Structure formats: C-alpha cells, structure tokens
Amino acid sequence: MRNLSITLSTTVLVALLAFSGCSKPAEPSGGAGTPGAAKSTIKLAGMVFQEDQFFRLVLFGMRDAAKKAGVELLEGNSAMKPEKEIQLVNTYIARKVDAIILSPISAKGSVAALKPAVDKGIKVVTYNTSVDGDLAVSAVASIEEDLGAQTGKAAKKYIEEKLGGKAKIAVFCFKSQAPEQSEARVGGFKKEVGTLPGVEFVAEQDAWLPELGVKRVGDVLTAHPDVNIVWAANEGGTVGAVMAVRNAGKTGQVAVFGTDASDQLLGFLQADDNILQAITSQRPTDLGRTAVENALKAIKGETVEKKVSIPGVCLSRTDPAGVAAFAKQLQEWMKGN
C-alpha cells in the first residue's frame, strides 16, 4: 500500500531507482512548487495518504520528473482521511491545477472527491491504488500479485532447503484497508508457497502498522508456538513481524518474509540475527515519476497508456551485494530530496 498502506540484482537496482477542517480547505504543503523547478504555466498536484518511506520515495520520483519538465508540483497528504482527501482536491481545483496525481484512499469512495475535478477539466492520474470508473486518464501501479509471488518463491526455496519442505505459516495483510490490493499480494504468496505439500497456513490477520504487527504477530506466535514462517504484505507489517519475533525470543526459530523496502527493513536483512530473509519491494520512485510523466502527456493531448504495471524486485539475504546496492541507491535518493 500503503497502503495501506509492501524486494533486486545490482544491475537492475540502478535502473529501477533512476490524508479536516469544516469550511476552509486545508492548504496543501509544497505551495511554492517543486524545488528548483523553472517557471511554467503547467501546475500539478501530487497527493499521498501516508508518511512512510514508500510514499516519500513516490514523492521523490514526482519531484524528479516535475523538475526535469520544469513544471510546478504542489504536494499534499490526505492521511487516510476521506474528508481530507476531498478538502485537498477542492483546494487544488481552486488553485487551478492542470492535473491531480494521487493514490486514492478508496476505489469507490474517492470517486466523489475526484469527479468535481474531472468536471473542471483537470486530468487525474492514479498510482499505487486506483479509482473505479473512467475518471483517471492513467493508472500506474505495481503488479500486486507479483509482489507476493516473488517473496513466495524465496520462502519456498528457504522451506525446501532449511526446513525439509515443511512449514507452518502465519500471514499478515491489510485487507480491511485495501482488500483488492491485499488479497492480490496474499494470493501471489500463497500460490507459490502453497505448492509444497508440507506447508500449512495456520493464521491470517490484518497488521499493516509496526505497532499492530508487533502485537498481532506476537499473539499468533503465542497461540501457535509451532509457527516457523511469518509473511507480511507491507512495510509496517514486516517491521512489526521482525520485532515480534525478537520480542518472543524466537530468533533462529521463526523466519520472516515481507513486502516493501525501507532503511529499517534493509538493516533487518543485513542483521546477524537472520530473522528477515527476503522482501519484495515496489519501485516507488518509478511509480511517482511515471505518474507525473503520464499526467504531462495527458495535459498536452498526447497518447497515454490507460494502465501501466510496474513489477516488483526481490531483495534477499542470499544476495548481500544486491541488498547493499539497493541501500546505497536509497540513501542517495534520500539525500538528494
């Protein structure tokens, strides 16, 4: 998600990382425009709904594309609040932006927020999550099933080589936040790992934030002491899972696989405790960059791909060079933004 809301050969890495007031709308951040952007008559609005590293990287990609194109980029965060999403969109309508680029909070619920903008001739481009109907001129998203499947392959190999082909698995997702996105990731993971006859899925719960993950993964490890594999569908759940294993004193007994990438998760992959084994990362900078590029094409009347699917990339403990290269590239992006 982020989500709601969540992993690379060294050569591929370098190529990949190239959410309420009453009557007065909230003023979005970034009103002065993209740092370093040249003066332009084109004005874009870029929206996120969380402040985790995934969405920060999405913004970095947006900023990079906007700067290169010499256009203004206004930034806002709906904080997963539908009323804030509506406020921001109304503000951007008043600011007469040419396009709104966002990860909608709800495929159905966000329609009401975005329709007034479209009626005013503002182009809408979605990334990460989508919106029902034809409001968006382009939807840029990761291949959700692939995000689960890639880590599933890594987990399958681990189970075969380290556990004799047998495992009891607990799955942690974000179904209550973004059901379609969550189910696709879970489905991809289960499709791969479920091919092993010795595998049993003993629990499946929502846990998309670190603190929620710590509690729920911890509870499952207590209720099912024979669980030896934990998989989480996003960054927060993965962080919480690793911390829960540590807190339960099950280092060396439970292996964690997850989704998305961050400084913390990369540190977990490189830690000597050997808990986190692999993560499949989305390509957030590419999501942000592509969304801006497609918005600009639509504004200029050029042909735009209606749907753009970006595959994830797997980062594994078994490929320390790949993890190190990803970490280096991530640091360069963070410093540059």
Domain ranges in the chain are 10-142+284-310, 144-281
Topology match between the domains 10-142+284-310 and 144-281: yes
Q: Using 50, 70 and 90 to split pLDDT, how confident is the model at 127? A: very high
Average pLDDT over residues 59-83: 95
Q: Is 210 helix (H, G, I), strand (E, B) or coil?
A: helix
pLDDT at 13 over 70: no
State the CATH class of domain 10-142+284-310. Answer: alpha beta
* pTM metric for this prediction: 0.74
| pLDDT > 90 in the chain, percent | 73
Q: Count CB-CB contacts under 10 A for residue 75.
A: 19
pLDDT at 110 over 90: yes
205-241 pLDDT tens trace: 999 999 999 999 999 999 999 999 999 999 999 999 9
Q: Give yes or no for a contact between 317 and 278, defined as CB atoms under 8 angstroms apart.
A: yes
Average pLDDT over residues 91-120: 95
- The residue whose two tokens read 């640091």 is 331
| Range 282-300 burial, b when 16+ CB lie within 10 A, else e | bbbbbbbbbbbbbbbbbbe
Tokens of 211: 């603190």
Average pLDDT over residues 257-271: 94
pLDDT at 23 over 50: no
- Of 129, 126, 323, 308, residue with least CA distance to 234: 129
pLDDT value at residue 45: 98
Q: Give yes or no for a contact between 295 and 101, defined as CB atoms under 8 angstroms apart.
A: yes
User: Is CATH 3.40.50.2300 what the domain over 144-281 is classified as, yes or no?
Assistant: yes
Residue 24 DSSP class: S
Q: Is 256 helix (H, G, I), strand (E, B) or coil?
A: strand
Average pLDDT, the chain: 88
The secondary structure element, H or E, covering residue 230 is strand 229-232
265-303 pLDDT tens trace: 999 999 999 999 999 998 889 999 999 999 999 999 999
166-215 pLDDT tens trace: 999 999 999 988 888 899 999 999 999 999 999 999 999 999 999 999 99
Cross-strand pairs, 47: 76, 102
Query: For strand 138-142 and strand 307-310, is the pairing parallel, antiparallel, or unpaired?
Result: parallel
pLDDT at 68 over 90: yes
pLDDT value at residue 271: 96
Q: Is 61 exposed, middle or buried (0-12, 13-18, 19+ CB in 10 A)?
A: buried
